[in-house]
Structure 1
Amino acid sequence: MTALDRRSFLGRGLATAGGVLASGIAIETLGTHASWAEAGRPAFDPRQVGYGPLSRRAAENTGEELLALPAGFSYVVLGKTGTPMSDGVPTPIAHDGMAAFPGTRRHTARLIRNHEVRTTPGSPIGRVHVEGSRRYDELGVGGTTTLEVDLRSGEVLQHFVSLNGTIVNCAGGRMLGHRGWLTCEETTAGPVQGWGRKHGYIYEVPLDGPRPGRPAPSQPLKAMGRFSHEAVAVDPRTGYVYETEDDSGKPDGFYRFRPKDPRNLSAGGVLEMLKIKGKDNYDCREGQKMGARLPVEWVTIDSPDPDVEGGAQTCTQQGLAKGGAKFNRLEGCWYGDGSIFFNSTSGGDAKNGDAPNADGYLEGYGQVWRHIPNRRDGGTLVLVYESPGRKVLDSPDNLTFTPRGGIVLCEDDASDADADPHPLAPGLTNVNRLIGLDPRRGQPFEFAVNIADESEFAGACFSPDGSTLFVNQLGNTAALDPPGRTYAIRGPWQRGPL
């Protein structure tokens, strides 16, 4: 990997020429992939794309067969549920969204990882919890952990709770200046459901500060909205924070937060929902044309922290009442090349057969959207890819652009109707994969298959030096089995398109 390749991937370099180059290649990849899919090409030919055929492989440090990977690739397991951490706390359950930062020493990386724990209030099962720490909700079971990893050996040097007192921490995104992680709650539960306080917020997890036995204080950023948050991405030019919403079974919105002080989100700001200009409640979920440019305007959410328990309109209802656009299950969100990319996990015209949503919408196999901001107006929205069926891509969740301009999509196949078995994972019904996209031909390929269980992949991200792909296996969100795991995957990246 060249020095330019490394610089182009580093999050802090996204505004540089290297960052634009890598993102531009990835954008071309999405366009090429869309053309490839529209031509009705076969789903996979492992002899011609990616890194070749996959086979079941055992983890180097545990000997368990958990992943199927191409020849030449290996992996180790980090932070499995239940293993003791440096602070004495057992590793929590439900490994979800994640980001990689430069470590405190040479040849290391620091990971901040979400835990989407969905147990009952105060439950000890897989809880993210440090007794005596400053936390928002004493009954909270979710939060984040931080891992310091040696990139040469795969050894975990430190591993500790970095935030607790929250619930259902699903995904998030890097803070402005890459000073840390913004972690999001995918729920609006509160005291009515037995919790000590209201939830549905975003919280800051500083890169520096938290240490074993001393997590960061969990303080909700209420002006950024109370809704079922999924992920965020920050535009480094303006400091605006773009937010995705995933409230299953209902229309979702795409939001932006314009802070008063981009480096102090707690100072407040304005929350807005995307609207297609001149078209109230435009339905982005189906009937869309890839490549079409839709002009955007933004409508203000007047009450970003609504008292929904008292009958107030939710953020989503407020935005839709002003003509906001409808999406379905917005999840992964990423900034690059001056744009915000985000996944609609169940958008699209090819339907997966699940029961209709509350408003009659039938879910699809997934979409990838691009919002292009513009200082002069609301910007532009473009559908850059839509899956034609499960064999190509089934339910994209997190997305990451790779050091060499390829794309990795994490599948979250939760379909009840459309079984998705795999020959490398006998006995499993809904198998989840990491799907790569070739930047030269746009052709999709399987890079990894979860052969351990039916839980989703999440949190895919490369180490700052580009040598290691980190990715999570969610595991169970309410029990210890199957466990959550983090994988560190290494191999001959230069041999293929990632």
Structure 2
Amino acid sequence: MERRTFLRTAVLSTSVTAFGGTLWRGAAHADPAQPGTGPYGAPGSADANGVQLPAGFRSRVVARSGQQVAGTSYTWHPAPDGGACFADGTGWIYVSNSEVNPSGGAGAVRFSATGAITGAYRILSSTRQNCAGGSTPWNTWLSCEEVDRGYVYETDPWGVKAAVRRDAMGRFKHEAAAADPDRKVVYLTEDVTDGCFYRFTPSTWGNLAAGKLEVLKMGSGTSGPVTWAAVPDPTGASRATRDQVSGAKRFNGGEGCYYANGVCFFTTKGDNRVWRYDAAAATLDLVYDDSLVTGGSAPLTGVDNVTGASSGDLFVAEDGGNMEICLITPDDVVTPFLRVNGQSGSEITGPAFSPDGTRLYFSSQRGTSGSSSGGITYEVTGPFRA
């Protein structure tokens, strides 16, 4: 992505928020994150899978598009995208979207307590361009269609219950979702250049069949208090949802979305920003902005999917850039964590931690081939800090 040559006004935050058992430290969130040395050191030489990792970490390939997942009869889907992990007894399940149109959908891989693959299967079919999404506290996966007037589908990671289309969550170019169990809402991003940031309040928490869709409102700046206003027609039939509320805040290409302990982090790829919505204080500010990096080039560009660790570290995947997953620490340091070599025609998608936080899953959506049929899904293990 082409770097911008101008600087925007620096941003100050006015609150400290607990995240993953730690604090985003300091009396204020200060300026957006700057490059520095991360807790794991720099990525080393590429391993046999072409993945550069810090010392003590290792990777393995879990699945490849168009090939059967090892030990199963399931053929891994093309263009693996957004993903999440779910506890499954002593093991876990990793779900992954398929960002192709028209087949789309999502699949899953089941793991034992030792990390051995014990199953793989389809959990959603016959949908369009399923990009990102999000997990719910009641252990379902929200798979989002990244098409005009797209839908959100609520799916069963175990593949037992049929997926359900959730019309009340709005029809727009959906990207990601993040559930906030404290306020009993779900945040949603929109992947267009003049998109909005939404929240959906179910009529009954745990049931997404009905509820209220709202859009965030704020002035022209990048920091300060926000309000919310109802979207009159969530179906978008009369007018695009982003154009129905006067004063709705515009975001340039909404991407990943992640919630933890009162804060919803989300990314915008059009301006390489990571945003921080403090739900308790109802304020918005910037965690990272590549144009505000000083003293050198920005380590993180092409911001996309985002997840977090119990340490409070954010892991942000790149769509392009250097094909890296970068780390943003609670001390406002941004640094590369891993890099995938030889796949410049791809993007990194679907970062998610196993329930115990010891394994990180992600995909290279188009792999070495640069096409949707070349996707590769990886697992990284190592001394992730608690």
- Check whether TM > 0.5: yes
1:381 and 1:461 map into 2 onto residues whose CA distance is 24
Match of 1:369 in 2: 275
Report the residue type matching 1:296 in the other structure: V
Match of 2:12 in 1: none
Match of 1:55 in 2: 45
**Greater Rg, structure 1 or structure 2?**
1
Equivalent runs, 1:96-495 vs 2, <5 Å: 96-104=81-89, 106=90, 108-118=91-101, 121=102, 141-150=103-112, 152=114, 154-175=115-136, 177-188=137-148, 200-208=150-158, 210-211=159-160, 216-247=161-192, 250-266=193-209, 268-276=210-218, 282-283=219-220, 288=222, 292=223, 294-307=224-237, 312-319=238-245, 322-347=246-271, 366-374=272-280, 379-387=282-290, 388=292, 391-413=298-320, 430-439=321-330, 441-454=331-344, 455-475=346-366, 483-494=374-385
Residues 384 and 443 of structure 1: is their aligned pair in 2 closer, same or farther, counting only changes over 3 Å?
A: closer
1:79 and 1:167 map into 2 onto residues whose CA distance is 22
Aligned length: 363
Per the TM alignment, residue 87 of structure 1 is displaced from its structure 2 partner at its CA by 7.2
- On the 8 A contact 2:217/2:229 being kept in 1, the answer is yes
SS in 2 for 1:453: coil
Per the TM alignment, residue 487 of structure 1 is displaced from its structure 2 partner at its CA by 1.0
Tell me the alpha carbon deviations over residues 319-347 of structure 1, each in whole angstroms, 9 at most, x when there is no partner.
3xx22111111111111121222112223
- On the 8 A contact 1:110/1:149 being kept in 2, the answer is yes
- On the 8 A contact 1:33/1:437 being kept in 2, the answer is no
SS in 1 for 2:53: strand
Residues 459 and 178 of structure 1: is their aligned pair in 2 closer, same or farther, counting only changes over 3 Å?
A: farther
Query: Equivalent of 1:72, from 50, 56, 63?
Result: 56
Match of 1:132 in 2: none
- What residue ranges of structure 1 are gaps of 5+ in the alignment? 1-18, 38-42, 59-64, 122-140, 189-198, 277-281, 348-365, 414-429
Per the TM alignment, residue 300 of structure 1 is displaced from its structure 2 partner at its CA by 1.7
Match of 1:417 in 2: none
1:224 and 1:315 map into 2 onto residues whose CA distance is 11
TM-score w.r.t. length of structure 1: 0.67
Tell me the alpha carbon deviations over residues 99-148 of structure 1, each in whole angstroms, 9 at most, x when there is no partner.
111123x2x22111111113xx4xxxxxxxxxxxxxxxxxxx01111111
Report the residue type matching 2:166 in the other structure: L
- On the 8 A contact 1:369/1:382 being kept in 2, the answer is yes
- On the 8 A contact 1:33/1:444 being kept in 2, the answer is no
Residues 76 and 242 of structure 1: is their aligned pair in 2 closer, same or farther, counting only changes over 3 Å?
A: same
Query: Equivalent of 1:28, from 13, 25, 30?
Result: 25
Per the TM alignment, residue 33 of structure 1 is displaced from its structure 2 partner at its CA by 8.3
2:29 and 2:230 map into 1 onto residues whose CA distance is 36
TM-score w.r.t. length of structure 2: 0.85
Which structure has more helix as a fraction of its residues? Answer: 1
1:480 and 1:217 map into 2 onto residues whose CA distance is 30
Report the residue type matching 1:331 in the other structure: E
Tell me the alpha carbon deviations over residues 382-435 of structure 1, each in whole angstroms, 9 at most, x when there is no partner.
22332235532102212222122222111113xxxxxxxxxxxxxxxx531011
CA RMSD of aligned residues (A): 2.7
Per the TM alignment, residue 90 of structure 1 is displaced from its structure 2 partner at its CA by 1.9
- What residue ranges of structure 2 are gaps of 5+ in the alignment? 1-16
Per the TM alignment, residue 71 of structure 1 is displaced from its structure 2 partner at its CA by 2.4
Which structure has more strand as a fraction of its residues? Answer: 2
Per the TM alignment, residue 459 of structure 1 is displaced from its structure 2 partner at its CA by 1.4
Identity %: 31
1:453 and 1:170 map into 2 onto residues whose CA distance is 19
